Amino acid sequence: MSNRFAQETLDTVKNLEKYDAGFVTDIEMEKAPKGLNEDIIRFISAKKKEPEWLLEERLKAYKHWQDMPEPNWAKLKIDPIDYNDAYYYAAPKRDEDKPETLDDVDPKILETYEKLGIPLKEQEILAGVKTRKVAVDAVFDSVSVATTFREELKKAGVVFCSISEAVQEYPDMVKKYLGSVVPMTDNKHACLNAAVFTDGTFVYIPKGVRCPMELSTYFRINEANTGQFERTLIIADEGSYVSYLEGCTAPMRDENQLHAAVVELIALDDAEIKYSTVQNWYPGDENGKGGIYNFVTKRGICKGKNSKISWTQVETGSAITWKYPSCILAGENSVGEFYSVAITNNYQQADTGTKMIHLGKNTKSRIIAKGISAGKSDSTYRGLVRISPKAVGARNYTQCDSLLIGDQCGAHTVPYIENKNMSAVVEHEATTSKISEDQLFYCQQRGISEEDAVALIVNGFCREVMQHLPMEFAVEAQKLVGISLEGSVG
Amino acid sequence: MLPETRHENPDWLDALRETGAEVFAATGLPTPANEDWKYSSLRKYEKEGFQISDIIGEIDTNDLPKKLLDKRIVFVNGFFQPRLSDQVEGLKAVSLLDWLSNEPEAVQENLVDVGNLSDMPLKAENTAHIRDGVALVLDAGVHIEKPIEILYLSTTKGVEVKPKYYLRNLFVLHDGAHLNVLENYQGQGTYAVNHVCDIALHENAEFKHYRLQNEDKNAYHFCHTRLMHHARSSYETVTCTRGACFSRHDIQSLLIGAEVSCNINGLYMLNGVQHFDTKILADHMEPNGVSKQLYKGILDDETRAVFQGKVHVRRPAQGTDGRQLSHAVLLSTAAEIDAKPELEIYADDVQCAHGATSGALDEDPLFYMQSRGIPKDQARRLLLGSFLSEVIEDIDCAAIQSIFQAQIDDWLLSHQGAL
């Protein structure tokens, strides 16, 4: 829902720019018919006034996609997806369908918002309440915020815009890097994204610039569509640094849909990209009904020497998570990091992990993955560490720990370790256990309720990952841990 | 000598062979597209064009390698050789053919449950060609503490084709029986051998099972072991791999009883172009089982080792303790190790852990030893030797332990130049 809202807002913002006082204009937009075919793709491309080459790429991807098999190697039970039963160019939700006031919104959703500390007005926006007034207020707020950002970023020379804008304004850069890290042939979901991606983020950090603030989709949500098929491209030029936050604090609470995003990161010489995600899409209800299919392809390449890419993710939402943020360590002395917490409850399934492909000399990677399963859920860590023959002096350390809460869930670890270089040192360790009775008893004995105690212990278990999150996220993520595990004990 | 010519051939056995043949015809040889064979390709093996052979050349005691233990049972090219073997007290049967002629029902009971053959193409192929093999059967309460050597000798002597041998081995230990066995795989020439080994450990049985794979460096060695663990039984195995240009060892340990203990360990020393692949599954189905896997190896030249271990803990298997370790030292820039230690866990009150490391020999201890006047060669040998010895440390039978130690020393000495 929020993406539709976001699109709506984006259009409002655009209108605002065009017409000084035109912000009340009805912005009901056109929508493409249901289904997926070449015409839809042409429609999307035309809507976005894309250049010919991009349309051709999209069509090529679509053609390829039709013959591609669904990836079925993950430990996931996925109901067949009807690709034709979806809108690929989403229109904002019609007013009549929206809840009249917050009272019409599912109280459970509001409860969650409250716990996350989202202010009331934002709650209304997130829940998609009809009242235009509120939305406009919010837009006003966001506009001011967005503008301040833009000014400041512009001063630093940072490009931070939607990918559609980037296609128009920086076509050379987009053409050069789009699909260079995740080619359309990579997997079926990435291929679908290449064919139908609607929007996303484009970031370019120029040489030697340390981005003055953390860039975030949370701030940008009112500025661009972060829809089902978003595409993110981040380029950090020589010696630059950027921290990017991707927050799904706007949980899409009433939808059951496929979310197939692609994220590409490119770090040139001495550049560093820190990419953090807190994912809290709708996980489905206690009986496993509904929820988001989160099939995301994220990959970064450390192209230049001494470059660094660091992924941090807290995955608590989605009915099914299929996600492997990876690093290709091509540059000499480049560093890849992956810190992950994946929490599953009820009937959620998560198959997540990373790939560290060591190509350059003295490349280093570090993987810390924590999986917590509760209820009837399954969570799998699946990772690959590959040391190529040229990666002299490569180093990898992997640690994955799983915690089981209750005897109806599953926790699995599937690491692939391929070492083709004698000078490389590769270490992997993993453990699986349950919450220690002693710790639980100790907490309860001191007056902490069982549920709080579990949240506390789990947060301690995840600490190594949480401390890599930017501050704004860390607080929220800690609360999310507690919320996600609600009802898993007692 | 085919079983058909020696004995009445029971219908069920024909049917079993037929099933094997059908499944293998449908599956064909596994390819790396099969997840279980991700890191091993059989293309070279296929090109060799091995053919089934029934010829057993004239072999006498002088052709046999030195006896390692007091008692030895000898198989040549897949068939039992009573003439070359010692008598062992307490065994109901020694070879499959003998047992088949004495107690066909008992054989049937132990042989027909082959598992899902379509997941195991090579076992299917073996099943299609069941002939002879070891069949060591111990009645309830029988203890054979002294280790027995089983020699599997494969030769190409007098054989015109590149031969392919099949062995179907059964170890059946009834309640409370104890057995201690060293399987010694040897051979000369270019041949392929496909062993399938079914082990049934009934309640409180204890089996110590050691393996020394020293096949010819041109040979192909396949071994598929399936282990049925009844309550409170215990199994300990150490496989030492030195031979064969290609070897693959599948071990399926099914812990169908409670409180079982299962230790699957291995060490390997590879050089030249050897390829060694181990796949282990410890499937915990009942509470309080303990399974441990420890594999250590050194890889020289253009060798490649694969370790795919999996601990599967099913929902009822509370109280499981599952451990898995794979460590490898690479001695050459062209060597490769691929490890996939996997945990699949559905019970919460468990302790499971795995670890995998690989890399070159640590320079610091080497420097330390050199600084104390130990020549580099010797220092390396000492370090590698102690690295491997961990696997055999817990073997409580001194005779077996010294056999393995001798193998390690021998390999390290013969590669002195390379080290």
Residue pLDDT, tens place only, A422-454: 999 999 999 888 888 899 999 999 999 988 899
Residues in B closer than 8 angstroms to A355, CB to CB, are none
Q: What distance in Å separates residue B318's CA from the closest CA in chain A?
A: 9
Query: What torsion, rounded to 10 degrees, do the Cα atoms B91, B94, B99, B101 define?
Result: -120
pLDDT value of residue A16:
36
Beta-bridge partners for B15: none
Nearest to A405 among B35, B336, B348 (CB): B348
Residue with tokens 């309440």: A129
pLDDT over threshold 60, residue A210: yes
pLDDT value at residue B322: 93
State yes or no: pLDDT of A129 exceeds 50: no
- By CA distance, what is A374's nearest residue in B? B348
Nearest CA in chain A to B359: A425
Question: What b-and-e string marks burial along B230-247, b requiring 16 or more CB atoms within 10 Å of the CB?
Answer: bbbbbbbbbbbbbbbbbb
Secondary structure string (H, E, C) spanning chain B: CCHHHHCCCCHHHHHHHHHHHHHHHHHCCCCCCCHHHCCCCCHHHHHHCCEECCCCCCCCHHHCCCCCCCEEEEEECCEECHHHCCCCCCCCCCEHHHHHHHCHHHHHHHHCCCCCHHHCHHHHHHHHCCCCCEEEEECCCCEEEEEEEEEEEECCCCCCCCEEEEEEEEEEECCCCEEEEEEEEEECCCCEEEEEEEEEECCCCEEEEEEEEECCCCCEEEEEEEEEECCCCEEEEEEEECCCCEEEEEEEEEECCCCCEEEEEEEEEECCCCEEEEEEEEEECCCCCEEEEEEEEEECCCCEEEEEEEEEECCCCCCCEEEEEEEEEECCCCCEEEEEEEEEECCCCCEEEEEEEEECCCHHHHHHHHHCCCCHHHHHHHHHHHHHHHHHCCCCCHHHHHHHHHHHHHHHHHCCCCC
Using CB atoms within 10 A of its CB, is residue B296 exposed (0-12), middle (13-18) or buried (19+)? buried
pLDDT, position B29 = 95
Q: Which residues contact B5 (CB under 8 A, 6 or more apart)?
A: none
Q: Give me the residues of chain B with pLDDT under 70, please.
A: 1-8, 416-419
CA atoms of A191 and A119, how far apart (whole Å):
38
In 3D space, the residue among B333, B268, B254 whose CA is nearest the CA of residue B307 turns out to be: B268
Does residue A300 have a pLDDT over 60?
Answer: yes
Question: Does the structure show a pLDDT above 60 at A237?
Answer: yes
Residue A152: the pLDDT is 78
Please tell me which residue, A109 or A323, carries the higher pLDDT value: A323
Cβ atoms of A325 and A290 closer than 8 Å: no
Asked if residue A245 has pLDDT above 90, the reply is no
- Nearest chain B residue to A380 by CA distance is B344
User: What SS3 state is found at A433?
Assistant: strand
What percentage of chain A exceeds 70 in pLDDT? 76
Please check whether residue A83 lies inside any domain of the structure. no
Neighbours of A151 (CB within 10 A): 9
Cα-based angle A231, A235, A239 (whole degrees, multiple of 5): 160
Amino acid A45: pLDDT:
87
Contacts of A424 in chain B (CB under 8 A): 358-359
Mean local confidence (pLDDT), A166-180: 91
Predicted local confidence at residue A489, as pLDDT: 66
Question: Is the separation of the CB atoms in A225 and A257 below 8 Å?
Answer: no
- Among left, alpha and beta (phi > 0; psi -120 to 50; other), residue B91 is beta
Per-residue pLDDT averaged across A202-213, rounded? 91
* Contact between chains at A432 and B353 (C-beta distance less than 8 A): yes
Q: Is residue A281 in a domain?
A: yes
Which residue among A404, A412, A430 sits closest to B348, beta carbon to beta carbon? A404
DSSP code of residue A130: S
* Closest partner CB to B345 (pick from A404, A423, A426): A404
Q: pLDDT tens digit string along B210-251?
A: 999 999 999 999 999 999 999 999 999 999 999 999 999 999
Which positions in chain A have a beta carbon within 8 angstroms of at least one beta carbon in chain B? 73, 75, 389, 402, 404-434
* Inter-chain touch B340–A417, beta carbons under 8 Å: yes
Classify residue A380: in a domain, yes or no. yes
Rounded Cα distance between B322 and B289, Å, is 8
Chains A and B: how many Cβ contacts under 8 Å?
Answer: 117
Domain enclosing residue A426, as ranges: 156-484
- By CB neighbour count within 10 A (0-12 exposed, 13-18 middle, 19+ buried), where does B382 fall? middle
Angle B150-B156-B162 (CA atoms, 0-180°, nearest 5)? 115
Q: What is the mean pLDDT of residues A94-113?
A: 54
Which pTM value belongs to this model? 0.85
What pLDDT is recorded for position B73? Answer: 96
Contact criterion met (CB < 8 Å) for B35 and A73: yes
Tell which of B299, B344, B419 to mutate to test the A interface (max A CBs under 10 Å).
B344
Examine the pLDDT at A487 and tell me if it is beyond 80. Answer: no
Strand pairing category for B71-76 and B79-80: antiparallel
CB spacing of A417 vs B345 below 8 angstroms = no
The candidate with the shortest Cα–Cα distance to A345, out of A311, A382, A319, A314, is A319
Query: Looking at beta carbons, which residues of chain A come within 8 Å of B279?
Result: none
Burial of residue A438, with CB atoms counted within 10 A of its CB: 0-12 exposed, 13-18 middle, 19 or more buried: exposed
Tens digit of pLDDT for each residue in A332-375?
999 999 999 999 988 999 999 999 999 999 999 999 999 999 99
Lookup: tokens for A368: 């810390």
| Phi, psi values for residue A179, rounded to 5° | 80, 5
Q: What mean pLDDT value characterizes chain A?
A: 79
Contact across the interface for B360 and A423, Cβ inside 8 Å? yes
A189 within domain boundaries? yes
Domain assignment of residue A23, yes or no: no
Q: Which pLDDT score, from 0 to 100, does residue A117 have?
A: 55
Number of structural domains (chain A) is 1
Q: Give the pLDDT of residue A175.
A: 92
Instruction: State how far the alpha carbon of A462 is from the alpha carbons of A313, A450, A465, in Å.
Output: 11, 18, 6
| pLDDT beyond 70 at A247 | no
Burial-class residue B365 by CB neighbours within 10 Å (0-12, 13-18, 19+). middle
Confidence of residue A400 (pLDDT cuts 50, 70, 90): very high
The answer to ipTM > 0.85 is yes
How far apart CA B417 and CA B419 sit, in angstroms, is: 6
pLDDT score recorded for residue A225? 37
- Do the domain assignments include residue A355? yes
Cross-chain Cβ contact B343/A413 below 8 Å: yes
Phi and psi dihedrals of A245, rounded to 5?
-110, 135
**What proportion of chain A, given as a percentage, has pLDDT over 90?**
42
Give the residue on A whose Cα is nearest the Cα of B349: A434
Q: Are B212 and B182 in contact (CB under 8 A)?
A: yes
Q: Can you give the pLDDT at residue A224?
A: 34
Residue A18 within any structural domain of the chain:
no
CB-based contact B252:B282 (threshold 8 Å): no
Per the CB < 8 A criterion, the answer to whether B189 and B216 are in contact is: yes
Beta carbons within 8 Å of A488's beta carbon, 6+ residues apart = A345, A374, A375, A405, A406, A454
Look up residue A130 and give its two tokens.
């009809």
Q: Flag whether A111 is in a domain.
A: no
**For residue A7, which of A100, A74, A91, A77 has the smallest C-alpha distance?**
A91
CB atoms A428 and B360 under 8 Å: no
Residues of A in contact with B343 (CB under 8 A): 402, 411-413, 430, 432
From A426, A430, A433, residue closest to B354, measured CB to CB: A430
- A252 confidence band (pLDDT: 50, 70, 90): very low
